[in-house]
Structure 1
Amino acid sequence: MQGATPTRGTSDAVAGAELAPEQWAAARQSAAEALVEDRYAAVGRGDRAAWLAHLGGTSDASLRAAQSAVFDRMTRMGAGHFHVTALRETAAPVPATSGEAVVWDERVSLTYSLEGYDSAPRAFDLDLTFKADPAAARRLLLTGSRWSGRPQPWDLEGLVVRRTPSSLVLVVGGPNRLDRVDEVVRRAQTAAVRVAAVWGVARPAVWIAPATDADAAQLLGRTGDGLHGVAAATDGPLTPGRTAGADRIVLVPGAWTSLTPAGRDVVMTHELTHVTVRASTTRAVPVWLSEGFAELVAYEPVDLPEATIVAPALEQVRSTGLPRALPADTDFQPGTRSLSAAYGLSLLALRALADAYGTQAVVRVYREAAGGLDVPTARLDAPEAAVDEALRVVVHTSRPDLVTRWQARIRQLLR
């Protein structure tokens, strides 16, 4: 194929006459897409033989073993409904004569969902290497497969899968991983009870407990610095105007293991609140509302002095003075000194609102701001304005009144 980029161990010979370059390019692309679709359809059928059928020959034992393990993990997770959404050649084969196999690379984009947990697809990418004779493109082999960009849980070796009515728990790491599974299952059930007590329902959730902070960062598509001090994070695709349907909660082992048992329950309840709310609302709200509400739910049953819970916020106020406005979205950037204070200040705002009008009124304000209100088109990208309207409609108050109550609560804690 003229003008192509040489790849590993391929020939410099001129292409044979069987296929013109354009025909060969189209043939290998079509064959690669068909192979990928057939393999992932085999996962849905539980057909291991079909999943392994096109792997680089029987001599490539390591590839077959690795892909067999991936198949096991996908099927145990209940992964299915795979669809190829894009396939792009990233390294073309060198031209070859008839009868001589060549290799090339493709990046494949797919979507999938987890049976019983996802109501929307989740996307992932793979980097694949194929091998074929240009004269027989349909008889191609898959000789390499690796996740691209971000791994999926089935890419993690040693994955343990536990399914309950309220959670799918995926745990990796160490000889004590079964104890970790039991703990996450138990705390997920506690979190579900706590979230349902406030929101009215708890969304069945997917919990992932990787072995290392590095694995957690890769699963979340973040850097290690972006998880500093973070014990868990919710991740999933969001489409404006639609509910979230494929969220994952990733526990970050470094910060997670430093928590007390009560602290772990708080963290898991906080994240499950996010998942549940995202699954039943359609519009973004200010971060102070989403994080403050998750903190409100998480600390609802916790018997701790409020000043202890929001100590970083009070320390910041002592240093910089009483805040005049609710926390900005930028205050919640991971790694910033204001992060812990922003969480505490947001919790105090939501508690001030709950004390004045009741916790269920706070729920109604959130629901209205996050999609219940018929907001004018001009305000669709103005979440603060939607909150102001929800405060007016639901509890007949205003932002200045909320800020006044919030400031009074902070002053009381500073005494």
Structure 2
Amino acid sequence: MAGQGRTTRRRAAGRGRAPTPRTARRRAAAALLGCLLVASGCSAPGAGDRAAGAIGRTLDHRAEALLDRDESRYLAAVDPGAADLLAAERRTYRNLSDVPVRSWEYELRDVDRSGKRATARVELRYRIEGYDSAPVTSARTLELLERDGRWYVTADRPGKGGVQQLWQQGAVDVVHGRRSLILGVGQDNDRLREIAAAADRAVPAVDEAWPGEWSGRVVVLVPESVTSMAGLLGASATSYRGIAAVTTGETGREGSSPADRVIVNPEAYSILGDFGRRVVLTHETTHVATREDTSKATPMWLSEGFSDWVAYRDTSPMDGQAAPELERSLRRGDLPAALPEDGDFAFDADADELARAYEGGRLACELIAERWGERKLTDFYRAVGEHDEREGAVEDAMNEVLSVTPEEFGGLWRDHMRERLR
């Protein structure tokens, strides 16, 4: 399920060495950042500005050390007296050792200083080599202590809206697919390879259905349990018990969107057959591909319906199997009168109602593909997403791309359901 700034869902070790040119460039950039931090203060330069510059240098050295695979320098940013944090950071560093990190940086947002102590709100930004064209971002709140003019981290926790990272849950196992990267914690290697194979099949299926620019690669996270999955999403595990996978990322057309991650619920995913697993991963990969053309103007019935349409596009289900809940509604004479609302896709929705919402969205996209053609379907998707606001987006796109009114489309959709499910 795709959302605007929300989660979507679906039923490094070595020793120090001479600076490389890349390291030199990072240090130069860090120096510039420090100058900008000082220059951008709200008041005349003073103690707060100097603290921000010094804290920025501490965090930059920490980031450089991780990229250079220098454990001792990475840990040098931690206060020697913070034994628990030191042990946790050592585990985090080692858990990351096999993850192909391309970039890692901390963007300092603001600093509150009180004597020798300070609280810094930062944004962690990192990219995976070969997969991320934009960084994954995560808000962090750091507590720091000044010793002899140098600032040391004494606490590191998620900031407002921030969540756990996979490597904070355990050692990360890495499996490289042809078009996918699978990162798992506490998982059997055979399971990770099977997921890589399914993701590798999903990517070309999405390529065939979506003629747009996207990376053509997908990163899949496989935590140890549904509870661990909820930690990565900053939510309650009860919301995801029956959900096989979700896709994280922010929608919107303002610049590049943060990198997406498909997160698998190992408990729900394991009970699916091969067909179900293929549908789930193709659905989620579609969200990755369509992210830049999905905005707050895009209704859930379209984003979820399109992803499901792609997932089922190359299948040949028998009548009724494509939408069993709507088929039952048809037999009761209770077909929906209107396209699903966003609320029908809520995490806590009744399972049957949720299934009907997905099926209704998929059959709406199927109608467009069959009546107007697949190209018109993707044109319609983009036309809706190009609007700045939800109001009028679907109406305008239906008029411009399909030459129908919403009322006319609603009637065609209900006729299509009756024909498809009878």
Q: Which TM-score band applies after superposition, normalised by the shorter structure?
A: 0.7 to 0.9
1:399 and 2:411 are equivalent in the alignment: no
Q: Residue 80 of structure 1: which of 103, 106, 128 is its match?
A: 103
Residue 37 of structure 1 corresponds to: 60
Q: Residue 264 of structure 1: which of 253, 277, 283 is its match?
A: 277
Q: Distance in 2 between matches of 1:388 and 1:161?
A: 45
The Cα offsets for residues 242-287 of structure 1, whole Å up to 9 and x where unpaired, read as: 4534111111123212211110110000011011011355664111
TM-score (norm: length of structure 2): 0.78
Residue 132 of structure 2 corresponds to: 118
Shift in Å, 1:318? 4.7
Q: How many residues align?
A: 371
Moved more, 254-263 or 112-121: 112-121
Q: Distance in 1 between matches of 2:363 and 2:172?
A: 39
Residue 99 of structure 1 corresponds to: none
Q: CA RMSD in A?
A: 2.9
- Within a 5 Å distance, the mapping from 1:104-143 to structure 2 comes to 106-133=120-147, 136-138=148-150, 140-143=151-154
1:50 and 2:79 are equivalent in the alignment: no
Amino acid at match of 2:390: A
Secondary structure, aligned partner of 1:336: coil
Q: Distance in 2 between matches of 1:356 and 1:23?
A: 67
Amino acid at match of 2:283: H
Amino acid at match of 1:80: S
Shift in Å, 1:219? 1.1
Q: Residue 357 of structure 2: which of 342, 346, 351 is its match?
A: 342
Residue 287 of structure 1 corresponds to: 300
Question: Do the aligned partners of residues 360 and 25 (structure 1) sit closer, same or farther apart at CA in structure 2, a change above 3 Å counting?
Answer: closer
Q: Residue 386 of structure 1: which of 389, 393, 399 is its match?
A: 393
Question: Do the aligned partners of residues 229 and 27 (structure 1) sit closer, same or farther apart at CA in structure 2, a change above 3 Å counting?
Answer: same
The Cα offsets for residues 296-339 of structure 1, whole Å up to 9 and x where unpaired, read as: 00011223224123112333455572222111111111121221
Secondary structure, aligned partner of 1:309: coil
Q: Distance in 1 between matches of 2:326 and 2:132?
A: 36
Residue 198 of structure 1 corresponds to: 209
Shift in Å, 1:60? 7.2
1:70 and 2:83 are equivalent in the alignment: no
Q: Distance in 2 between matches of 1:52 and 1:228?
A: 37
Shift in Å, 1:71? 2.7
Shift in Å, 1:143? 4.0
Q: Distance in 2 between matches of 1:23 and 1:280?
A: 45
Shift in Å, 1:353? 1.8
Shift in Å, 1:61? 7.2
8 A Cα contact 1:205 1:275, kept in partner: yes
Any gaps of 5 or more consecutive residues in structure 1? Answer: 1-21, 94-101
Q: Distance in 1 between matches of 2:314 and 2:404?
A: 27
Secondary structure, aligned partner of 1:355: helix
8 A Cα contact 1:88 1:106, kept in partner: yes
TM-score (norm: length of structure 1): 0.79
Higher RCO (C-alpha 8 Å, min separation 6): 2
Q: Distance in 2 between matches of 1:278 and 1:44?
A: 28
Q: Distance in 2 between matches of 1:317 and 1:330?
A: 22
- Within a 5 Å distance, the mapping from 1:363-374 to structure 2 comes to 363-371=378-386
Residue 362 of structure 1 corresponds to: 377
Q: Distance in 2 between matches of 1:397 and 1:24?
A: 64
Any gaps of 5 or more consecutive residues in structure 2? Answer: 1-44
Secondary structure, aligned partner of 1:305: coil
8 A Cα contact 1:241 1:282, kept in partner: no
Q: Distance in 1 between matches of 2:260 and 2:88?
A: 26
8 A Cα contact 1:244 1:280, kept in partner: no
Instruction: Report percent identity of matched pairs.
Output: 29
Shift in Å, 1:238? 3.2
Shift in Å, 1:82? 1.1
Moved more, 30-39 or 236-245: 236-245
Residue 196 of structure 2 corresponds to: 185
Moved more, 165-174 or 119-128: 119-128
Amino acid at match of 1:78: V
1:227 and 2:240 are equivalent in the alignment: yes
Question: Do the aligned partners of residues 314 and 243 (structure 1) sit closer, same or farther apart at CA in structure 2, a change above 3 Å counting?
Answer: farther
Q: Distance in 2 between matches of 1:41 and 1:277?
A: 33
1:273 and 2:286 are equivalent in the alignment: yes
Question: Do the aligned partners of residues 340 and 88 (structure 1) sit closer, same or farther apart at CA in structure 2, a change above 3 Å counting?
Answer: farther
Moved more, 190-199 or 147-156: 147-156
Residue 299 of structure 1 corresponds to: 312
The Cα offsets for residues 20-73 of structure 1, whole Å up to 9 and x where unpaired, read as: xx977666554333212220132233333321223343x877655542342344
The Cα offsets for residues 136-176 of structure 1, whole Å up to 9 and x where unpaired, read as: 232x44344344541122322021123345222111114x2
1:158 and 2:180 are equivalent in the alignment: no
Amino acid at match of 1:341: R
Secondary structure, aligned partner of 1:207: strand
